[in-house]
Amino acid sequence: MSESPIMTELEVRERVPLSRSTRWRQEKVGRFPRRFQISARKVGYHRTEVEDWLRDPAAWRHRHVGAK
């Protein structure tokens, strides 16, 4: 079975070495991929965005902040 293109909060928490509140602050300033609403009580992240960030956070930030 292939992986879903969406990562849940739990999956992100297991892979990313930042607390939930730190990730939220980083999202607000463009230093971490933005979450999106899946349902009324569930958010998700684009798997490719999180994996790109995990490989090289500085390069990810440069690509995404510079693109705005």
For residue 67, the model assigns a pLDDT of 55
pTM: 0.85
Sheet of strand 36-39, all strands in order from the earlier edge strand to the far edge: 6-8, 42-46, 36-39
- Can you give the pLDDT of all 68 residues of the chain as single tens digits? 568 999 999 999 999 999 999 999 999 999 999 999 999 999 999 999 999 999 999 998 888 876 54
- Give the count of alpha carbons within 13 A of 16, CB side only: 27
